[in-house]
Amino acid sequence: MDLMLITNSPVYAKYAEKSGVDIIFIDLEIDGKIERQGHLDTVISSHDIKDVSRIKKVLKKAKILVRVNPYNEFKTEQEVEDAIRFGADMIMLPMFTTVDEVIAVHKLINNRCTFVPLLETVSAVESLDKILEANILTDLHIGLNDLHLDYKLRHMFELFTNGTIDTLVSKLKLKGINYGIGGVASMNGGDIEGETVLNKYLSMGSNRVILSRSFHRSYSEELHAEIDRLRLVEGSHKVENSSQYDKEFKASLVKI
């Protein structure tokens, strides 16, 4: 499983790579985010496009993912061009709602880097069949925060118990799409322990996850140790225990 960490600090990015992070996440998304998530305990970044080249210079093997703003016919082309010019290996499109938006950004990228649409709206869920029929995707990430808000659910993990994530994952698997799911806290942290969440993600076939702020609080050797703990959980995960992981996940969900 690839681990993504959000930072625009070259020093921290270099340390994160040494600690086992696979993808450094530069977050340029700002349009509409305060309105959607301003009341939540979530990170709203103040990253800059020039951070991409600054981070690029210090990395040896980790990739750089750049999340641009939601699709805008007047802005997106320039944002994509800038991201690629400054060194993005992957571009993430948030808050898409239609197949046309996904096709438009795919054309703008033109196979120059990996395109990772971030599925996080009800309209995106409803458009997924048409998007997959277009046969243009290799990757996709399912965002839990905005998606649960759009569905007006109490908690983002309800997306697992109401069948939404199961349905999405089944469709992605049929098309052979690489997909990631949400974010994860440190193994002993979070509303639901990170270990329980990670096992749930793994049992659903996720191959990518965003490391939450609980990992950012570990600036010394702690980050390395936290990632080692995560990798230990990943290494001990067994497909045949999926039903047990699901029971533990649902039991934890009742408590929050």
Q: pLDDT band at 240, cuts 50/70/90? A: very high
The pair of structure tokens assigned to 94 is 């948030």
Q: What percent of the chain has pLDDT over 90?
A: 86
Structural domains of the chain ordered from first start: 2-254 (3.20.20.60)
91-110 residue pLDDT tens: 999 999 999 999 999 999 99
| Residue 35 in this model has a pLDDT that exceeds 80 | no
Please give the order of strands across the beta sheet that includes 2-6.
178-181, 139-142, 114-119, 90-93, 63-67, 23-27, 2-6, 208-211, 183-184
Q: What is the pLDDT of residues 38-54, one digit of tens each?
A: 545 555 678 999 999 99
Give the CA distances from residue 234 to residues 17, 38, 201, 248, in Å, rounded to whole numbers and listed in that order.
Answer: 18, 33, 10, 16
* Kind of pairing between the strands at 114-119 and 2-6: unpaired
Neighbour-count burial of 63, counting CB atoms closer than 10 A to its CB (0-12 exposed, 13-18 middle, 19+ buried): buried
Helix (H) or strand (E) holding 24: strand 23-27
